[in-house]
Structure formats: structure tokens, C-alpha cells
Amino acid sequence: MTRLSFATLANRRKKPSSSARDTLLSRRPETMRRIFPVLLLIVLCVAFSLSSPRFLTTGNGLIVLQQAVVLAVAALGMTFVVIAGSIDLSVGSIVAVSALTAAMTSNALGVFAIVPAALVGLLCGFINGVVVAKGMVPSFIVTLGTMVVYRGIVLYFTRGAPVSIESESFLDFYSGRFAGVPDSVWIAVVVVVLGWTALRFTVFARELKATGGGERVARLTGIRVDRVKLLMFSLLGLLCGIAGLLQSARAMAATSQLGEGLELDVIAAVVVGGTPLTGGIGSVQGTILGVLIITILSNGMNMGGVDPYLQNIVKGVVLIAAVFVTIDRKKIGIIK
């Protein structure tokens, strides 16, 4: 009996139980979501540093940060929406409308052009939220339509011609430098820190994750899902308004093509950063890693002289690879 008990204990030590194995397997998607963005970022940095000696320089680092500003602010807002299990295809158009608003009001308001730009973005996001929540229409369809509407508004007012910014105070504040770092980067850092705080410590963040985990269950627990949707789309619109302001300051003008295709980069950054489109989970730090991956990918390919049309193919492959590696297939009943 003693020998049998010792043998049994030895076998138990050598072989994990079925429940332990199931736990390890269930943690694989979560582990991959955390590790994949870091590994991909390291691989890209090593590859581009070997292909170009200019890549790992302070000047190029500041360029990368400046290029990542608009994408980071817009992707931060998209993170909230994707965590709730929704999507917004109108972010590029909202950025364009907000940039146009900033350009048209900058001469009169100067630095304070951020107010109308942010309010216009907030209004656009609020409209999306009302139609999705109260109209009970899928967010994909709603934002696909508003993407065309908002872009049409920009085309109507610009008539295809750029609207230049001539306010010196506006350009000095949003395009200047502090401690050698562009002011736009500092603004983005403040916005990201606030977003991280909101997603980590607020009741709204818990309601957001509960909605993404299961909308029906969230309603049964007393969460006002319609209110959550209104708030998250409005928040995304507000952040897109700030992103539009920063983009107009960088280009010193607002054009009808501004922000075209931005929604694809935004979604790619969020997904590559480990936030699944199925919703329920996600993090701001993961999104920032995704933003850096997308920005460094574009920057490195530009420095390497890669064909611009080929760059879109590479970005698409990276997005598919990120989804393939990080998706939790157990949470999807049917793959369509």
C-alpha cells in the first residue's frame, strides 16, 4: 500500500492533471496576445536597423513618434469601441471633418481651435452612438454610412481645395517643440495616460468589458448598455477630433483626402496590439504597441525604398497574422 501510494504520487508529479492541462491551454490565447506585439516590435526594429543604419537614430525616433501621434490618439478611442464588441469605420472621416473645423477657425481662435474641432468630433461620434444604440443597427453598417456622409461634408466645404492654416500662435503651439520633443507628442502622451487611467480604474471600463463579453448578460446584470454605447462612440469622436487638430497642425492645412484609409491603420493597430474583435478584453498599452508596430513598419519600409503599393500588402499580412495568432477560437461558436 505504501509503495502504491508513493508510485501514485510520483505519477501525479510527473503528469499534470487534465484540469491543469485545460488551464494551460485556455491561457495560451491570452499569453499570445501579450507576447506577440512585443516580439513583433523587436523583430521589426532588428530587421530595419540591419537594413538601414539611419533607422536607430534619435532623429528618426522623433520622426516615428511624430508620425504615430494621430494614429495613437484615434486608436485609443477605437480600443474602447472594440472592447465593447463594436467597430467604427468612420474614424478617418471624423478626423477630416475635425481637421477642417480646426483650419477654418484657427485664424480667429488660434490655439483654442481645439475646442470646435473636439466638439465636432464629439458630435459625429454621438450621432454614430445614437443610431447604433437607439436604432439597434449594427455598428459596421452605421459607421460605413457615416464614413461616406462625413467625407461628403468635407468635400462640400472644401470643393477639393486645401484650407490652409495661417495662425502663427496655432502653429507655434501645436507644431513647436518642448525639451526637443514635438508638442504634438506631449499632447498625445497626456491623452494616452488619461485613457489608460479611464480603462483601468473606472466603472465605465468594467461596464464596457461586460458589454463586450456578452451584451444580453450585461443587460441582465443591470448595465445600461445603450448608455455605454453612446459614451464609447462619443469618446471615440472626441479623440478623433483631437487627432484631426494634430493632423491639421502637422500638415498646416486641411484637405479633402486627409484621413483616408486611417480607419484601416487604426483597426490594425488595435488588433495587432492584442485587442480581439470579439470584444470583452483589451488594453491601452497593447494598442500603443500596435501603433508603434504599424508606424515603424511604414517608416522602415519607406527608408528601405519599398514600393508604396507593396506596403499595403505587408500591412494586410501583418494584420491577418496578428488575428490568426491571438484569436481565441473557443469563444467563437461558428467561424464565418
Would you give per-residue pLDDT tens digits along the chain (336 residues)? 444 454 444 454 445 555 544 444 455 666 776 788 888 899 989 989 888 888 888 889 999 999 999 999 999 999 999 999 999 999 999 999 999 999 999 988 988 999 999 999 999 999 999 999 999 999 999 999 999 999 999 999 998 889 988 888 888 888 788 888 889 999 999 999 999 999 999 999 999 999 998 889 999 889 999 999 999 999 999 999 999 999 998 888 899 899 998 998 999 899 888 888 888 888 999 999 999 999 999 999 988 888 888 888 888 888 788 777 766 666 555 444
Cell of 239: 479623440
Contact residues for 39 (Cβ-Cβ < 8 A; gap 6+): none
183 and 174 Cβ atoms separated by less than 8 Å = yes
Strand-pairing partners, residue 253, are 164
- H or E element, residue 7: helix 2-14
What cell was used for 184?
Answer: 504634438
Residues in the chain: 336
> Class assignment of domain 58-326?
mainly alpha
Q: What's residue 332's pLDDT?
A: 56
Helix (H) or strand (E) holding 253: strand 253-254
- Written as one letter, the residue type at 170 is F
d(CA 286, CA 331): 20
DSSP character at residue 249: H
Backbone angles phi, psi at 180, to 5 degrees: 85, -5
Looking at residue 319, what is its pLDDT? 79
Q: Which of 195, 81, 100, 192 is nearest to 138 (CA)?
A: 81
The pLDDT value recorded for residue 336 is 42
